[in-house]
């Protein structure tokens, strides 16, 4: 059993997360629409189930990011799943800016009921306010920069007030909080710890690299064997194990120590890096929950 769960049962809730949580809770009170950014490679593990409770009845839009590194078929499956569960859901690639325009339209649409409520009360000049939330490294800052683009005009920065939320105008009647809400990843099981580790959501010091890569290779052998074999130019055989596959990769890549011994340490790090950067292929590690029969 290569999944030694213990290594992922870590107590991990650093001080800066506590502060981030408090700040996010305060900021959430100020907005009408919440954009929850998820990593398309791990839509389940990159979500924080507590968010729903925190945002209450506010409008939420689910956005799958890093779709350039995810399996397109699974991205569609996840989008259908979210839509079936009554969420507005979209896919983006913040690095290239794909899907960002559609997101602005979706935010505008999500804010419409709020605007309507105000109109009925005679309030006509209020803007819809939105904030981006997500776990570390999911692409929040990249998305905010994309959304800003040329619209860098700041709204309501009262002179003399240096602290407090800063709003930027995204479009007509639409304001964005310029600091994202940092959600703490939820380690509900070893599986989540593994997913967060290999996608770069948690720092490398807090998990065992070797274990993570063993699980990753095991997973890729099951889900994407052809892609794995093509990427590393290795032949897979039915009797292969995680260990023999890792050795084949080491050999194919010439990861050798003095005396021609395979350098497995270097191989482990290379596989992890190749996966994290999407160089290995477009892989999604989690499928949406299966529908009830």
Residues binding ligand GDP (CB under 6 A): 65-66, 68-69, 93-95, 134, 136-142, 278
* Nearer to ligand GDP (CB atom), residue 38 or residue 215: 38
Q: Which alpha helices (H) appear in the chain, and where do they start and end?
A: 15-28, 51-55, 72-84, 100-120, 140-148, 190-199, 209-223, 225-232, 242-253, 264-276
Q: What string of DSSP letters covers 122-170? A: T--SPPEEEEEEESTTSSHHHHHHHHHTT---EE---TT--SS--EEEE
Closest CA to 66 of 89, 44, 98, 106: 98
- From the number of C-beta atoms within 10 Å of its C-beta (0-12, 13-18, 19+), residue 211 rates as buried
Q: How far is the CB of 14 from ligand GDP (least distance, A)?
A: 14
Cα(290)–Cα(267) distance, rounded to whole angstroms?
35
* Nearer to ligand GDP (CB atom), residue 202 or residue 255: 202
* Nearer to ligand GDP (CB atom), residue 141 or residue 269: 141
* Nearer to ligand GDP (CB atom), residue 142 or residue 209: 142
Q: How far is the CB of 142 from ligand GDP (least distance, A)?
A: 3
* Nearer to ligand GDP (CB atom), residue 137 or residue 209: 137
Q: How far is the CB of 210 from ligand GDP (least distance, A)?
A: 24
Which tokens is 272 given?
Answer: 């992890």
Q: How far is the CB of 138 from ligand GDP (least distance, A)?
A: 4
Q: How far is the CB of 93 from ligand GDP (least distance, A)?
A: 4
């Amino acid at each position: 059993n290569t999944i030694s769960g213990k290594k992922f049962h870590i107590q991990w809730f650093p001080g800066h997360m506590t502060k981030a949580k408090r700040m996010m809770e305060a900021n959430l009170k100020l907005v009408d629409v919440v954009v929850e950014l998820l990593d398309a490679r791990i839509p389940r593990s990159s979500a924080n189930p507590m968010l729903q409770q925190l945002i209450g009845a506010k409008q939420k839009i689910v956005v799958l990011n890093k779709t350039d590194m995810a399996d397109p078929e699974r991205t569609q499956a996840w989008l259908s799943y979210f839509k079936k569960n009554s969420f507005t859901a979209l896919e983006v690639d913040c690095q290239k800016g794909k899907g960002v325009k559609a997101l602005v339209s979706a935010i505008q649409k999500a804010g419409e009921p709020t605007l309507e409520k105000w109109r009925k009360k005679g309030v006509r000049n209020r803007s819809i306010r939105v904030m981006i939330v997500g776990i570390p490294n999911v692409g929040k800052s990249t998305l905010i920069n994309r959304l800003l683009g040329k619209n860098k005009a700041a709204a309501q920065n009262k002179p003399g007030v240096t602290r407090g939320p800063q709003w930027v105008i995204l479009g007509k009647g639409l304001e964005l909080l310029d600091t994202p809400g940092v959600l703490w990843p939820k380690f509900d099981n070893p599986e989540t710890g593994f997913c967060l580790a290999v996608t770069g959501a948690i720092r490398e010091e807090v998990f065992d690299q070797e274990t993570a890569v063993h699980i990753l290779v095991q997973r890729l052998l099951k889900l994407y064997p052809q892609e794995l074999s093509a990427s590393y130019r290795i032949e897979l055989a039915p009797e292969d194990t995680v260990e023999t596959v890792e050795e084949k990769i080491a050999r194919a890549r010439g990861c050798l120590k003095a005396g021609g011994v395979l350098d497995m340490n270097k191989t482990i790090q290379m596989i992890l890096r190749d996966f994290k950067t999407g160089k290995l292929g477009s892989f999604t590690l989690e499928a949406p929950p299966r529908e009830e029969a």
